[in-house]
Chain A
């Protein structure tokens, strides 16, 4: 059964000119116990998506259209007070920067207890204390240090405290926004392992938002690749990494060095994502795409089902007719419109 069902969601931000279409027509669902990864570069809408789901969009952000159904109820239709009940109890979030997410004037213990007692009014102090101690133990923190203030913790410890807090009420859905980006590899590895263990204990689903494709490859069942507010490709993690159809997925995969491979020819995706206040009418990736045609620049691609993959590319059907090998070759990426426009500007100058 789906825990979360997002349909045709549009999240816009007010700007001085036109609204920025940060999330534009995104539909997906998360099953019970499933881990869904969201990858993409900065500004692709991945964090906005999480904020819209948990209901902490900034003042200038709003849901323009679409629904977010959690447990059969549409969160976008609820009043603020009603939503607050879901926040943390049912849907919690591990924020990217634990330093900013924790309140510096309260001890870690007080902050977790506050969350527990707000949502479960009947909980006695002894029971809350037990939960805190148990959570500390689970994330590998010494329960004796629960009475410390956030500044007394190292970065890794704060991130673990944040995770303890997010999981203390055993929510059905955890939104993890770059949960380990600020950490060193060894700490990252331990924390990902812990999250996995706790998650299987309480059988919660998780949405992992990150730019790091290797973290997603290791922790997620399914992946959504986002580009400029839209889904580019979605499917099981093995398919996305093993046999992707969208040129952006192929490019992103090749842009990362892999520790297990020597002598890799890295590929660079020239150019920048389009202005979201005035997105192009065709495929949003066309300008940076090595296989783009005139059709791509004018007609927006519909979803195409390729086995288990859902791909938003006009040429997904024909990918094996030479398109895949072209998209996998760093040299063709030097011939994209974005790459050429940088160069032609140079020639004019000379």
Chain B
């Protein structure tokens, strides 16, 4: 397989460019509901899981997607590796448009992008040995040196000695070992891009740091670009170069991880960061109570989706106009915020 573009295209294009990604799921897709809809002439309802997400991921960069349950972060991640077909929007991988890829492009993309799931108890086939689990992607993509590659991937994942794991089934492994097998499976194809969805949240505390440092090593040694999906901001601060905060299917703030955490600007980001408990009893924490619960993802709120809970609500504009995510004159870092509190750089100039 040769690289799709010229060798220097990596310097021009980001590894991944996502523009206006949308994923809507139809509610009540069943036969009876659709007959009823036809009779009553009502339109189908959709869950707006992801609603216009845009970002770029550079080579070797790690991006964190954070937000509460149901904010669309996992759906975004799954759309990125084409486990979901987006409703709308465009995903470019190394300059290659993935909207309607031909077979060859899709095969190349599948080989270069991998996903690590939250629950290693469910993501590994219980009837396959560790060897077969890792061999499957190699066979699909017709890659030689199967055993050597598998051995290398297991060694990298600190499953030592690798041969001892070849014939083991997932149920014979601990949670930490299973997640390491899942990481090894993701690495065995030598991908450029990995989506890791809550990679350690199912693991015991003492094991988390080990898996995290393995993933850090993986990013460095393979020069990988990784999208980490997690609700745990402490973890994302530790793992990511850049951070995007999601609320109800949209990115409300993104920027350098340190900037976003140290100096959050969107009222939702502030509430989210403020709610994280600190493992130090001497550090006081200001508690901001957020009103209400996350809004309805089917009948989404008008204007800014956060307006009903926002402590900085400034009036009608929040209710009527959806704030675009953009750079604001108030901040000189490369941060983008979707909030009417700040002035757009575009209006100012």
CB–CB A211/B204 < 8 A? yes
CA distance in complex: A290, B290 (Å): 43
Number of A-B contacts (CB under 8 A): 130
CB–CB B279/A345 < 8 A? no
Of A89-97, A118-126, A234-242, A315-323, which stretch is located at the interface? A234-242
CB–CB A211/B162 < 8 A? no
CB–CB A345/B234 < 8 A? no
CA distance in complex: A253, B261 (Å): 21
The digit string for B216-253, where 1 denotes a CB below 8 A from any CB of A, is 00000000000000010111011000000000000000
CA distance in complex: A75, B233 (Å): 42
Given the known A-B contacts A217-B278, A217-B279, A242-B282, are A252 and B258 also in contact in the complex, defined by CB atoms under 8 Å?
Answer: no
User: Smallest distance from the beta carbon of B203 to chain A beta carbons, Å?
Assistant: 9
Of A9-17, A46-54, A263-271, which stretch is located at the interface? A263-271
Contacts of A186 in B (CB 8 A): 68, 271-272, 275, 290
Q: B310 on the interface (CB 8 Å rule)?
A: no
Q: B283 on the interface (CB 8 Å rule)?
A: yes
Interface residues of A, dominant DSSP: helix
Given the known A-B contacts A217-B279, A217-B280, are A190 and B290 also in contact in the complex, defined by CB atoms under 8 Å?
Answer: yes
User: Smallest distance from the beta carbon of A144 to chain B beta carbons, Å?
Assistant: 15
User: Smallest distance from the beta carbon of A167 to chain B beta carbons, Å?
Assistant: 19
CB–CB A343/B289 < 8 A? no
CA distance in complex: A342, B162 (Å): 11
Tell me which of B205, B273, B289 contacts A256 (CB under 8 A): B205
Q: B126 on the interface (CB 8 Å rule)?
A: no
CB–CB B209/A268 < 8 A? yes
Q: B33 on the interface (CB 8 Å rule)?
A: no
Contacts of B290 in A (CB 8 A): 186, 190
CB–CB B280/A258 < 8 A? yes
Contacts of B293 in A (CB 8 A): 154, 156
Q: B149 on the interface (CB 8 Å rule)?
A: no
Tell me which of A184, A214, A268, A349 contacts B206 (CB under 8 A): A268
Using a Cβ–Cβ cut-off of 8 Å, how many residues does chain A contribute to the interface with B?
49
CA distance in complex: A256, B69 (Å): 22
The digit string for A244-259, where 1 denotes a CB below 8 A from any CB of B, is 0000000111011111
Contacts of B289 in A (CB 8 A): 190, 193
Q: B174 on the interface (CB 8 Å rule)?
A: yes
> In the complex, what residue of chain B is closest to A273 when comparing beta carbons?
B206
- Which residues B122-173 have CB closer than 8 A to chain A? 155, 158, 160-164
CB–CB A217/B277 < 8 A? yes
Given the known A-B contacts A257-B235, A257-B237, A272-B174, are A215 and B280 also in contact in the complex, defined by CB atoms under 8 Å?
Answer: no
> In the complex, what residue of chain A is closest to B214 when comparing beta carbons?
A268
Among A192, A259, A348, the most chain B Cβ lie within 10 Å of the Cβ of A259
The digit string for B268-301, where 1 denotes a CB below 8 A from any CB of A, is 0001111111111111010101100100000000
Q: A41 on the interface (CB 8 Å rule)?
A: yes
CB–CB A41/B204 < 8 A? yes
User: Smallest distance from the beta carbon of A287 to chain B beta carbons, Å?
Assistant: 13
> In the complex, what residue of chain A is closest to B66 when comparing beta carbons?
A185
CA distance in complex: A130, B271 (Å): 33
Contacts of A256 in B (CB 8 A): 205, 234, 279
Contacts of B238 in A (CB 8 A): 257, 264, 266
Residues of B within 8 A of A (CB): 68-69, 155, 158, 160-164, 174, 204-210, 212-213, 231, 233-235, 237-238, 258, 261, 271-283, 285, 287, 289-290, 293
Residues of A within 8 A of B (CB): 41-42, 154-156, 184-190, 192-193, 211-215, 217-218, 237-238, 241-242, 251-253, 255-260, 262, 264, 266-270, 272, 342-343, 345-346, 348-350
Beyond known contacts A155-B69, A241-B280, A255-B208: 4 more, CB 8 A cutoff: A41-B206, A185-B272, A186-B290, A214-B278
